[in-house]
Structure 1
Amino acid sequence: MIEKSFRLWAEFFGRASEKHFRRGVLFTSAMLAVGGTFSPLHPAHAQWAVYDGANHVENVLIAARTLQQIDNQITSLANQAQMLVNQGRNLASLPLSTLSTLQSTISQTTALLAQAQNIAYSVQSVEQQYQQAYTSVSAGMSDGALFSQAQTRWQNSVGGFEDALKLQARVVGNIPSDSSAMTQLVSASQTSTGALQAAQAGNQLLALQSRQLSDIQAELAANGRAMALQQSRDAATEAESDAQYQHFSQHDAYVPGTVSMFGGSGN
């Protein structure tokens, strides 16, 4: 079959050169590949495949659009996956917690306040003991009773100043631990992976500040208590002095008399 085609091409080109003959062979081979093979069973006419260029272009465009849609879907899925990752980061909890340390410090400060000497931080205690030691001074009291109340007031004042000093020492002792906790929380906030971690770090910083404010409040209360006890003592001392003066003034006036010395007769 191929040799018959070669002969047809040789007759067609006649005196064509060998170069042109080879080109004819290549063209015939291409025609066989595109249009099918020649067969002696078929009629004498050749079979040619019809190429529709417009349909081919349309198919290519459809394929391109399909690929673009697939690419858009892949991009959308990637964005959704990234969004889920970001949401997971935003919902991640902060691994650092200073709550137990803050609660322990507050408990220690509260324990010191509860150990207040003599007159405690209680309205009922203040009313009862203040009435007994500071406002019950009168001229009719004996010297022993006045001295006992004065001793009680002095002990209250000394105890108040001691309590204030202890609380001040506790507040100052909290400074290093507060500094360490603040450094850790600020570092955790700056390196947080999501919004929740940053918010939790900020909340713990606010809790630390609240605890520090409670220390200041307790210190002011202790200092105010000590000063109030001292001022009350001073006021009671004035009342005691007045009572002692009135008690002394109730005795008879001094009457001079003759004193005999060495058994003499008044010389």
Structure 2
Amino acid sequence: MIDGKVAYITGGTKGIGYGIAKSLLEKGMKVAITGRSLQSAVKAAEALSTDPSKVLALESDVSSLASEKKAVEAVIAHFGKLDVVVANAGVGHFASIEDLTEQLWKETIDTNLTGVFNTVKAGIDPLKQTKGYIITIASLAGTNFFENASAYNASKFGLVGFTQAVMLDLRKYGIKVTTIMPGSVATYFNNHVPNDADAWKIQPEDIGELVINILQMNPRTLPSKIEVRPSMPPGK
């Protein structure tokens, strides 16, 4: 049963994070979502639910461990516990290594990899109390490298390895850890605006449904790494 459980979702104001939050709320869970600004988080939270007992909006910078610890403390103060952490916040900067700047490299690694480390670290102690779940949102780019993606590939390859090692570290406490590796998703990622041409792509609510399936799986079974891709991409 997941009804009444509490989830903390980074990057929950739009895209995959928002889709997961919406799906969990529909199943009776309570959710806290973060955004880079409190204003964006509040706007998204109000769209999800007007009931403050069900959704909490928070501002947090995942690249800061102190910021993530403060956010998790706010979740505990508001809801009384934490059952699920979804480390979803991410950025994408794509350029040849010749043109990739130090700033873009650092922002990519600080958000996509160090940011997940910070989110996970902040959530470990409360998740020990509930024998909870950690889900990281990686990418097929974490196993498939491609041109102009050295920073993004590095962050996602690292994220997949990090999550798998964390799974081994934490399962002795009853904490389950899964990484989801989506292919093309219809989101606002990398300044894209979802439109009708994205109908073939994975939709954010599809990832939300997958998260629900993971959380409802028999506790004896752990799907530690899940690749998910569009079933019929164009030209296939």
TM range (shorter): under 0.3
Q: TM-score, normalised by structure 2?
A: 0.25
Normalising by the residue count of structure 1, what TM-score does the alignment of the two structures yield?
A: 0.22
Which structure has the greater CA radius of gyration? 1
Larger helix share, 1 or 2? 1
